[in-house]
Structure 1
Amino acid sequence: MQLTDYRDLTPAQREQLIDIQVRPEQQHFAGDMASALYILLSTDSPDLRGVALLVNNVPSAFLLLQRGAFLAPWARPDAATINALQVDRRLQGRGLGRFFMQALPDLVRDLWPDVRCLQLSVDPGNHTALAFYRATGWVDSGDGYRARKGHECQLTLLL
């Protein structure tokens, strides 16, 4: 398994990204690959990156990294935020998400040496995601985006 910047994927791997599917209940929170790719391809900025997790050279998980002009209003200025984490539902439960979270800090340090932490915002009703992030070292750090009721949970991972 390896993390790869979208820009370094082969044309075939870029086409395979659309095959990543999440469960319907996860899609409610994370969206789908078409939406993530639309956001990624809507601009050519060094502050917006797509990251794929390759398993046997096939994209099996994906997320968006954002900083600078794309940074969420609730995020620290020295942070990068992650959005739209998607692990293919056919491969869930095999440690791909955990591997992604463990390998991501090194990739971010190489990509953006001035970034000091990763942050994200999770709906308080998304108990599975909250448990996953907390189990991989993320800590509660305040309010994130506005939720249907109150705010989402902001989580931070120091680099």
Structure 2
Amino acid sequence: MTTRLVPYEQLDATQREQLDGLEVHPEQQAFSGDIYTALHTLLKAPEPGIKGFALLADERPVAFLLLKHGPFLPHWASAGTATLHALQVDHRVQGRGYGQACLQALPEAARLAWPELKGLMLSVDADNQAALKLYLKQGWVDSGEAYKGRIGYERRMTLDF
């Protein structure tokens, strides 16, 4: 199966409709949110500092994520980075490596969006062991710092370019 990470604005009407049907497991929604919230963040008032990306598998959306940069960086992020948010893989295709494919394609997609970037950052719930394991496997570095997030303690992770 061929995968590629594409900016939201490059999706055709059929792919956008398919993306609307992306569903995450209910227990994962506390960590990643749902597709409606993510798309609302992206589309409510389009901004150059917020970009959405869909992972296509044989041209069908199977995952989605947001990147934030510039004035949209959260308080915990370093200047010169973009932050990863709302990474969601459709529950009907989980376990097929799509989360890994998103993370592998992400640095190039981020640099195309913002060539001046020095790296990426994310914040992950300390109890989300599956996500922590995935990020570490893909080369993200845990800062060792934890802070109180909206649903528990969060770990900051970085991926330098």
TM-score (norm 1): 0.94
Residue equivalent to 2:84: 82
- Distance in 2, matches of 1:46 and 1:148, equals 26
RMSD: 1.5
- CA-CA distance at 1:49 after TM superposition: 0.5
User: SS where residue 41 of structure 2 aligns?
Assistant: helix
Residue equivalent to 1:132: 134
- CA-CA distance at 1:144 after TM superposition: 6.2
Gaps of 5+ in 2: none
Counterpart of 1:68 (choices 67, 70, 73) is 70
Counterpart of 1:23 (choices 22, 25, 29) is 25
* Paired AA for residue 74 in structure 2: A
User: SS where residue 137 of structure 1 aligns?
Assistant: coil
Residue equivalent to 1:96: 98
Percent of residue pairs bearing the same amino acid type:
48
Moved segments of 4+, more than 3 Å: 142-145, 148-151
Residue equivalent to 1:44: 46
Residue equivalent to 1:158: 160
- CA-CA distance at 1:53 after TM superposition: 0.2
* Paired AA for residue 10 in structure 1: D
- CA-CA distance at 1:148 after TM superposition: 5.9
Residue equivalent to 2:8: 6
- Distance in 2, matches of 1:149 and 1:40, equals 22
Counterpart of 2:117 (choices 115, 118, 128) is 115
- Distance in 1, matches of 2:103 and 2:115, equals 18
- Distance in 2, matches of 1:149 and 1:37, equals 21
The 5-angstrom pairing of residues 142-157 of structure 1 reads 142-143=144-145, 146-147=148-149, 151-157=153-159
* Paired AA for residue 70 in structure 2: G
User: SS where residue 141 of structure 1 aligns?
Assistant: strand
- Distance in 1, matches of 2:154 and 2:145, equals 6
User: SS where residue 24 of structure 2 aligns?
Assistant: coil
Alignment check: 8 A CA contact 2:126 2:155 kept: yes
TM-score (norm 2): 0.93
